[in-house]
Amino acid sequence: MIIAEDGRHATLGQYRSPTKEEIGQVTASLSAHGLGGWLVLGEGDYYQIRKPFDLEKVQQVSASQVSWEVAETWFRDLRSRNCSPFA
């Protein structure tokens, strides 16, 4: 996954590692929008909000105005609002 500094995210390389080209495209897009971002591994069931979903930061892919901890907090907030409370 790529997590932007504002908590928005996208998946890359589902079931495989993303290629350098894919990471480069995302990095260019984030930078063009003035957003920092991180490449992370997600583990768990994303859609089961009541179950753990762990993140492992792999690397920063574009410069950010906020820390990883802030971006992770915003990601978790967005995820909790976007998942069904009945999941």
**CB atoms inside a 10 Å sphere around CB 14:** 7
**Three-state DSSP state, 14:** coil
* Structure confidence by residue, pLDDT tens digits, 7-36: 999 888 777 888 899 999 999 999 999 999
33: in domain: yes
DSSP E strand stretches across 26-68 = 37-44, 53-62
| Alpha-carbon gap, residue 87 to 14, rounded angstroms | 22
pLDDT for the residue 47:
80
The stretches of 1-87 forming alpha helices (DSSP H) are 20-32, 68-82
The pLDDT score that the predictor gives to residue 38 is 97
Confidence of residue 40 (pLDDT cuts 50, 70, 90): very high
pLDDT higher than 60, residue 84: no
Counting every residue, how long is the chain? 87
Classify residue 87: in a domain, yes or no: no
Lowest mean pLDDT of 4-13, 64-73, 74-83, name the range. 74-83
For residue 31, being part of any structural domain is answered with yes
* Residue numbers of the domain that contains 9: 2-82
